[in-house]
């Protein structure tokens, strides 16, 4: 259980915050004392007869309401991460409403399920727009405020095991997540001098929209977790700065074992010095 007050006085942005892992992290951040900006395209509940209702239900307003009912403070903001203006407005509204930005989590993501020979270009382009272009542009728009505060901060993204191993029919998805991993690990070096931590969190196999059609090929042996299992690891990452923990790709299942409170952080990689 994350320490109550661990994020007191901090403001967090979570994309994809209407359901699943994004909602779980939003609730966990609020419980730890943060003011939370819940961002997603989802403003309206699907009709009761919608397929996959268990996974598709949830809105930014519902997440914000649950935070408020628990005594926290949240701001729901409609945001399509494929639209640059939405991302710019998300950063601006956060600063205008709460006065600062301390934590930014790029969680919004989409699948790209197709063998390459049958891959539809529109599907591929959307996966790249959501999974890599959106997170980078979000950093572009939040970093000026975070740097100006001169108090450090934490940025991290949600990745997938598919970024490192083969998943049948998901070359496009795997590529997008591998690119996201590399981009964030490089960004960690770019903003280290501002004491802003940048990390990559792999949540493992979680019971969310991505698994609505059943097990992905090659993943059935991995234990299925519920979204709230990510909470403690996410809160700990959100509390970090570059001086404490940055430039790491970590597994949620290893939190408290190979990384986390009381565990020595890896030595800086010095990636900027390599050819």
Query: Can you list the domains of the chain with their CATH numbers?
Result: 11-273 (3.40.50.720)
Predicted pLDDT at 5: 83
Encode pLDDT of 15-25 as tens digits: 999 989 999 99
Question: Would you tell me how many other CB atoms lie within 10 Å of the CB of residue 7?
Answer: 26
User: Which positions are catalytic?
Assistant: 173
Q: Which helix (H) or strand (E) holds 38?
A: strand 35-40
Please state, in angstroms and rounded to a whole number, the distance separating the CA atoms of residues 267 and 248. 10
Query: So what's the pLDDT on residue 270?
Result: 47
Residues ≥6 apart with Cβ < 8 Å to 94: 11, 13, 37, 75, 77, 101, 142, 145
Distance CA 27, CA 17 (A): 9
User: How many residues does this entry show for the chain?
Assistant: 275
Residues lower than pLDDT 70 in the chain: 1-3, 42-57, 112, 161-169, 205-224, 267-275
Q: Residue 248 in contact with residue 259, Cβ under 8 Å?
A: yes
**Per residue in 89-138, pLDDT tens?**
999 999 999 999 999 999 988 876 777 788 788 888 998 999 999 999 99
pLDDT value, residue 267 = 62
Contacts of 230 (CB under 8 A, 6+ apart): 21, 24, 25, 28, 201, 203, 206, 252
* 146 within 8 A of 196, measured Cβ to Cβ: yes
Q: Are 233 and 260 in contact (CB under 8 A)?
A: yes
Is 113:74 a contact under the CB 8 Å cutoff? Answer: no
Task: Cite the beta strand spans of 159-215 per DSSP E.
Answer: 196-202
Which pLDDT value is given to residue 268? 56
Taking the whole predicted model, whether its pTM rises above 0.85 is answered as: yes
């Amino acid at each position: 259980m994350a320490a109550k007050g661990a994020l007191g006085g901090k403001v967090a942005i979570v994309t994809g915050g209407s359901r699943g892992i994004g909602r779980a992290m939003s609730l966990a951040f609020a419980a730890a004392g943060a003011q939370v900006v819940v961002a997603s395209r989802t403003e309206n509940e699907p009709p009761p007869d919608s397929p996959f209702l268990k996974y598709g239900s949830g809105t930014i307003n519902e997440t914000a309401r649950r935070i408020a009912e628990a005594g926290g403070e949240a701001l729901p903001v409609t945001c399509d991460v494929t639209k640059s203006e939405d991302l710019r407005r998300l950063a601006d509204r956060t600063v205008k409403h709460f006065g600062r930005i301390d934590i930014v989590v790029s969680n919004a993501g989409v699948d790209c399920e197709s063998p390459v020979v049958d891959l539809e270009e529109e599907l591929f382009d959307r996966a790249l727009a959501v999974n890599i272009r959106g997170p980078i542009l979000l950093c572009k728009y939040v970093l000026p405020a975070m740097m100006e505060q001169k108090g450090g901060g934490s940025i991290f993204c949600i990745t997938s095991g598919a970024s490192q191993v083969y998943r049948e029919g998901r070359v496009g998805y795997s590529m997008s997540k591998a690119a996201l991993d590399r981009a964030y690990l490089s960004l960690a070096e770019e903003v280290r001098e501002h004491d802003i931590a940048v990390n990559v969190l792999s949540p493992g196999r979680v019971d969310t929209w991505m698994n609505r059609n059943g097990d992905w090929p090659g993943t059935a042996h991995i234990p299925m977790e519920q979204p709230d299992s990510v909470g403690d690891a996410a809160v700990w990452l959100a509390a970090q700065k570059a001086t404490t923990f940055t430039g790491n790709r970590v597994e949620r299942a290893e939190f408290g074992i190979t990384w986390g409170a009381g565990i020595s952080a890896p030595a800086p990689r010095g990636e900027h010095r390599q050819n």
